[in-house]
Amino acid sequence: MFCHMSFKRRILTCLSLLLLSAGSALGAPLIELAPEARADLASGSFKGLEKIEQILETMSTLRALPVKAPVQVNTLNRQQLEKALIAQIERDIPPERIAAESDLYKHLGLLAPDFDYRAFLIALYTEQIGGYYDPKTRQLRLVKDNLTGLENEMLIAHELVHALQDQHFDLQQYLDPEARNDDRTLAQMALIEGDATAAATEFVQQRLEQKPLSGLLDSFSSLLSAARMSTRFETFNKAPAFIRESMLFPYQQGTQFVSQFRSKGWNWEDMAELYDRPPACTRHILHPQDYLNQIEPIAVSAALENILPQDSLRARNVLGELGYQQILKHHLDASQARAAVTGWRGDSYQIYALPGSSASVSQNLFVFSSIWQKEAQAASFAKAWQKAQQIRMPALTPDPQMAGLYQADRQRRLIWQHKHGVLILENLPDSASWLKQLRSDWQAQVTAQGSQHLLSQALRLKPDLLSSSNRHAAIKTSLY
């Protein structure tokens, strides 16, 4: 597992890196075990450590990524994992960012008002993580657990792929320590995790082919173990739907993304080209052809920097196609949500602290800006957003004084569409005398971005670029 340390869409980005203590064909060590891992190996208390060099060699060959340096490996228990996660969160994620994102999800109805977002995610990741790789320290940590047989070997194989990825592609470049664009980070995590999951799946398939009977028994044992462990994942089972989906997205959708290329004839060596131009948004993962067709996200932001005090900005980030789909799916059915986000081209959201906010009481202005491929798609999204909010707040009624303005229980919400753009403001204060200026600035921005949108449409490539016969021409065109 690779964790990106951004609470917007999960608490961290963890990858597992294994350190081997045996020798390579050249006599140099492939794995370097930390003292605690060495003791676990000697006592036999951690199953799989004795095979780690063999698994690394297999994955290096299978994934076509030669081992450049020894992989460092350590082991830890669940209590040590929780302590490490908390320390990493406190070091890398400002408390105010966590609080702002918690307020956003509560405002959107995704979390209950009394939900402790930070504590829940720590408990969730402590429960779920079986191993993680930290690109900063280049160390793989494996969690002592009751995994056995093929299940444990697959976990180790997956995490060793992360170590090899790091040696060849430098995984730190895909991290976003400032959490400026969680949608891009999640997309790149999907590439990394999908790559490792697909490779580990091929590893298991090879193992089953080599020893069919013992492999079948191993698989049956692993299924029983998984069934037992699923009852233990109480936190995951209780997690809000959008958190569960976000946790699974890099693995499920990421594997489907990688498999699309593999099924079209791409060799593992070819996959390096995806790291040269990694996916830039979750739209690329959900629609691989859009990635090859160079449908790139467009930067967009509500022009509030010159209107509201800069020190009132609590958070700024990107939701992406997946994020908007998750929000709408919480209130509408899944098919309606998917249809409403078709044509996403870019977005951003901002959270501003309104006058009267304090450390204990937060009053926020939530601003959502988005650009869509077609005007009709922008209109469809605006309509779906309004429908979702009406379900959440039945008392919401139009304000006759201004088009797009709605009120309910002293709360004001504004939805404006202009051409390909949609601007949404929620918790709008009564004293917002700057709305006319904002509308003018927003319309000018959308009009200017329309030229960029039309140019990018003209640059679209052929619809069959996933095929191996067109691959090199496609990548050459898309990379340069």
* 23-52 pLDDT, tens digit each: 344 456 899 999 999 998 898 888 778 889
How many angstroms separate the CA atoms of 106 and 110, rounded? 6
Nearest Cα residue to 77 out of 144, 140, 129, 141 = 144
- Tens digits of residue pLDDT in 147-204: 667 788 888 999 999 999 999 999 998 887 667 899 999 999 999 999 999 999 999 8
Judged by average pLDDT, the poorest of 8-12, 100-104, 124-128, 233-237 is 8-12
Which pLDDT score, from 0 to 100, does residue 27 have? Answer: 52
Nearest Cα residue to 318 out of 423, 185, 121, 418 = 185
Which pLDDT score, from 0 to 100, does residue 256 have? Answer: 94
Judge whether 328 and 340 are in contact, CB under 8 Å: yes
Cβ neighbours around 448 below 10 Å, total: 10
> How much of the chain exceeds pLDDT 70, in percent?
80
Which pLDDT score, from 0 to 100, does residue 148 have? Answer: 64
Residue 451: pLDDT band with limits 50, 70, 90: low
Which pLDDT score, from 0 to 100, does residue 220 have? Answer: 42
Return the ∠ at Cα 464 (arms to 449 and 479), rounded to 5°: 55
Position with higher pLDDT, 208 vs 258? 258
* 207-213: average pLDDT: 70
* 215-234: average pLDDT: 47
Which pLDDT score, from 0 to 100, does residue 4 have? Answer: 36
- Tens digits of residue pLDDT in 385-434: 999 988 888 888 887 777 888 887 777 889 999 999 999 999 988 766 78
For residue 74, list its beta bridge partners: 141
* 212-222: average pLDDT: 48
Asked if residue 353 has pLDDT above 70, the reply is yes
* 443-470: average pLDDT: 54
Judge whether 271 and 164 are in contact, CB under 8 Å: no
Which pLDDT score, from 0 to 100, does residue 17 have? Answer: 30
Judged by average pLDDT, the poorest of 11-15, 64-68, 408-412, 447-451 is 11-15
DSSP 368-401: EEEEESSHHHHHHHHHHHHHHHHHH-TT-EE-TT
Virtual CA dihedral for 193, 198, 203, 208, nearest 10 degrees?
A: 130
Which pLDDT score, from 0 to 100, does residue 232 have? Answer: 55
Asked if residue 277 has pLDDT above 60, the reply is yes
Which pLDDT score, from 0 to 100, does residue 224 have? Answer: 39
Asked if residue 326 has pLDDT above 50, the reply is yes
- Fill in the DSSP letter of residue 74: E
How many angstroms separate the CA atoms of 297 and 188, rounded? 14
Which pLDDT score, from 0 to 100, does residue 208 have? Answer: 81
Which pLDDT score, from 0 to 100, does residue 123 have? Answer: 83
Which pLDDT score, from 0 to 100, does residue 147 have? Answer: 60
Residue 308: pLDDT band with limits 50, 70, 90: confident
* 248-256: average pLDDT: 94
Q: pLDDT averaged over the chain?
A: 81
* 351-369: average pLDDT: 76
